[in-house]
Amino acid sequence: MIQQSIEFGKDSQRRSFQTAVQTGEFLITAEVAPPKGGDPSHMVQMALALKNRVHAVNITDGSRAVLRLCPLAASVILLQHGIEPICQMACRDRNRIALQSDLMGANALGIHNILALTGDPVKAGDHAEARSVFDVESVRLLQIIEKLNRGFDSNERPLTDSATQLFPGAAVDPQLPNWSSLQRRFEHKIAAGAQFFQSQLIVDFNRLEKFMSQIAVNYGKPILAGIFLLKSAKNAQFINRCVPGVNIPQATIERLERASNPLLEGMIIAAEQIQLARQLCQGVHLMAVKREDLIPQILDMAEILPLNQPVLAQPAVTTKV
């Protein structure tokens, strides 16, 4: 099975997301969490629902410092099912030796899309007594990937068994209050080799527009706006309370409270946000925790066609007299 996944990754799937980035397509990615346990069947079921609707599926790496199946294993499983993964790699749990080892392992397995993350603090998760590593952070991790792709390790010693062919991306939060810090960090990630950016949950699209027009426009790298499926007013209030830097507007919370079907209303809100993002940036990154199966319906509501489906010519408008 491993040999099959290696060949599958090399021959069939490893470059479709990269090609879409480089050809300027409107990019669609979605996030799926690995299981907390040894059975990946639910993860696979959710990911299969996204097939032909997204360019790639993010596999999280201990998001919010909560224990999950390792993202490398989860990414291989997706490849075996014909789904291209973006493997998140956080610096929280590994030193530079382990990070380089995992990056080379990902490359060997046909996993080429890597999202370089610093990682959430351990105290936010379910193993608060664990020790954090943070030997490097996301910019340094991007620099390490750039060296591996040139055929060198982090100490500039040659790799004796070929360079890697990794396609690195990074996270960005256009809603950070410190504008100069946001710009500086973004530019450092660009300089370190980031080829695409996925944003945190976007609630302020005016702020996103400002970021796109004043910062991102100068670099030509695709920004995928983070779109989150709000399932209820209670869900939105939980996010405001527990997710740093996110402030879902009170008007949105009240809209969910008034809705006879809050989940459906949340889907409508997400579709509206996709349409807004489509006017501002080159893609969206969809997060629908535990309801990834609803993402195709949300994309339909946003009038986003399945991938590789041609846009039909509109019939000529005739006027009756």
Summarize pLDDT for 59-71 with one digit per residue, the tens.
Answer: 999 998 999 999 9
pLDDT at 2 over 50: no
Q: In the chain, what are the domains?
A: 17-302 (3.20.20.220)
Percentage of the residues of the chain whose pLDDT score is greater than 70: 91
Supply the pLDDT for residue 64. Answer: 86
HSE-up (13 A, CA, CB side) for residue 240:
14
Q: Is the separation of the CB atoms in 172 and 117 below 8 Å?
A: no
pLDDT of residue 8: 44
Distance separating alpha carbons of residues 178 and 207, to the nearest angstrom: 12
DSSP lists the bridge partners of residue 23 as none
Interatomic CA distance for residues 103 and 125, integer angstroms: 24
Is the predicted pLDDT of residue 216 greater than 80, yes or no? yes
Number of residues in the chain = 321
Q: Is the pTM of this model over 0.75?
A: yes
Residue 319 has pLDDT above 90, yes or no: no
| pLDDT single digits (tens) 6-22 | 454 444 445 699 999 99
Judged against a pLDDT cut of 90, whether residue 5 lies above it is answered with: no
Q: What does the pLDDT average to over 40-65?
A: 96
pLDDT for 4 equals 45
Paired strand residues for 27: 283
| Residue that has been written with the tokens 């399945």 in this structure | 306
Q: What whole-number distance in Å separates Cα of residue 220 and Cα of residue 63?
A: 28
Q: Is the predicted pLDDT of residue 164 greater than 60, yes or no?
A: yes
Tokens of 266: 């949340």
pLDDT band at 315 (very low <50, low <70, confident <90, very high): very low
Residue-wise pLDDT for 88-100, tens only, equals 999 999 999 999 9
Q: Which parts of the chain are beta strand (E)?
A: 27-32, 56-59, 85-90, 113-117, 167-172, 197-201, 223-228, 283-287
Is a pLDDT exceeding 90 seen at residue 243?
no
Residue with structure tokens 């993964």?
85
Taking the C-alpha atoms of residue 144 and residue 131, their distance in angstroms, rounded to an integer, is: 23
Supply the pLDDT for residue 143. 98
Mean pLDDT, residues 307-314 taken together: 59
> What digits encode the pLDDT tens for the residues 178-193?
999 999 999 999 999 9
Q: Picking from 4-18, 163-177, 197-211, 271-285, which range would have the lowest pLDDT averaged per residue?
A: 4-18
- Name 9's Cβ contacts closer than 8 Å, sequence gap at least 6: 76, 79, 109, 110, 111, 112
